[in-house]
């Protein structure tokens, strides 16, 4: 099979095309013919070496058809999506014509969408849904602030929160991107200068929950944004991986405020966070109906992977990018 491998840790140029043996599914695995895969910042971290030693073939999600399922649960030819399950970290991932995935991380899909559209949804929507509903227990009518909202994960979160009936405040560092967030349904847009708590206070806003995709660099400020007994879920690291220097719960964690973390790459599809709990078929139906704006902003060919990673790192795509596999 053709696959894109990490030839050495470094920039996008280290992603090279190679011929590898076809993988064979073991018991409890599904062999998938990859038709398209989404691009994620996690793959850039793996490629660069930021996450240490990882699999030669990166890629944490895909859409495709079943080639073989030893369990017999999924028929050959069934349309599926696969998310995480060690792909790209502990096993070869989806930047390939074929991939084996633990069956718990594979979901059959029934939506009448093209491969690129199917591949734009799984990881970001499953992660955003889990953060909003499992960690934050977001209720209709509450106000949620999505920090890092112009990222593909942030846009998915805005989409899902608006559809759920929440009032959504979205943040961006670039005032020119405020219109995009308004089009997604955000009720208000805040320009993130690292200090949102004063802005929220000046506007007299009461924030029930924060979904923080920026991460450690703004954690103290995110905790100060929510109302007493509010909730904060950290779900990304757009601001970098450096730890929070000198974090002191007595000084930095307001009494009654609940702080949680959701690391989809490590738990989604596992026993505690089953993929079946995420309503993917319902999400796809809403994408097909135009209720959720989840179409890819750019689609690349398999042989354009280096350029795709360059665009991802430049942050100019303003949404989810996917790669199709011929």
* Single pTM value for the model: 0.95
- Own/partner pairs, 24-29, CB within 8 angstroms, 24+ separation: 24/100, 25/68, 25/69, 25/70, 25/100, 26/70, 26/100, 27/70, 27/71, 28/70, 28/71, 28/102, 28/103, 29/70, 29/100, 29/101, 29/102, 29/103
Name the pLDDT band for 227 (thresholds 50, 70, 90). Answer: very high
Class of domain 124-265: alpha beta
Give the tens place of pLDDT for each residue, 126-175: 999 999 999 999 999 999 999 999 999 999 999 999 999 999 999 999 99
The ranges assigned to domains in the chain are: 2-120+295-324, 124-265
Q: What is the pLDDT of residue 315?
A: 87
Mean pLDDT across the chain: 96
Q: What is the pLDDT of residue 219?
A: 96
Query: Domain 2-120+295-324 in CATH: superfamily?
Result: Medium-chain alcohol dehydrogenases, catalytic domain (3.90.180.10)
Q: What is the pLDDT of residue 265?
A: 86
Beta-carbon neighbour count of residue 235 at 10 Å? Answer: 27
State mean pLDDT over 83-108.
97
What percentage of residues in the chain have a pLDDT greater than 70?
100
Q: What is the pLDDT of residue 266?
A: 86
């Amino acid at each position: 099979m053709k696959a894109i491998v990490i030839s050495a840790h470094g920039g996008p140029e280290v992603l090279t095309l190679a011929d590898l043996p076809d993988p064979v599914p073991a018991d409890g695995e599904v062999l998938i013919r990859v038709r398209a895969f989404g691009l994620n910042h996690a793959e850039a971290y793996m490629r660069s070496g930021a996450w240490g030693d990882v699999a030669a073939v990166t890629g944490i999600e895909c859409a495709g058809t079943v080639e073989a399922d030893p369990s017999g649960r999924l028929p050959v030819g069934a349309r599926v999506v696969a998310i995480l399950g060690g792909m790209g970290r502990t096993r070869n991932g989806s930047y390939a014509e074929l991939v084996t995935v633990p069956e718990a991380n594979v979901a059959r899909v029934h939506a009448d969408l093209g491969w690129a559209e199917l591949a734009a949804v799984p990881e970001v929507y499953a992660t955003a849904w889990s953060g909003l509903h499992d960690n934050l227990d977001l209720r209709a009518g509450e106000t949620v602030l999505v920090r890092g909202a112009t990222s593909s994960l942030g846009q998915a979160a805005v989409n899902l929160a608006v559809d759920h009936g929440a009032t959504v405040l979205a943040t961006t560092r670039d005032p020119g991107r405020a219109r995009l967030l308004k089009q997604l349904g955000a009720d208000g847009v805040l320009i993130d200068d690292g200090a949102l708590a004063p802005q929220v206070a000046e506007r007299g806003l009461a924030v029930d929950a924060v979904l923080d995709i920026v991460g450690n660099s703004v954690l103290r400020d995110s905790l100060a944004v929510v109302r007493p007994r509010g909730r904060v879920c950290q779900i990304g690291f757009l601001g970098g991986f450096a730890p929070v220097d000198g974090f002191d719960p007595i000084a930095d964690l307001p009494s009654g405020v609940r702080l949680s973390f959701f690391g989809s790459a490590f738990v989604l599809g596992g026993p505690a966070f089953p993929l079946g709990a995420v309503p993917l078929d319902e999400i796809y139906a809403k994408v097909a109906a135009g209720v959720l704006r989840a179409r890819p902003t750019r689609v690349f060919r398999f042989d354009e992977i280096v350029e795709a990673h360059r665009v991802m790192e430049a942050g100019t795509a303003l949404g989810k990018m996917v790669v199709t596999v011929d």
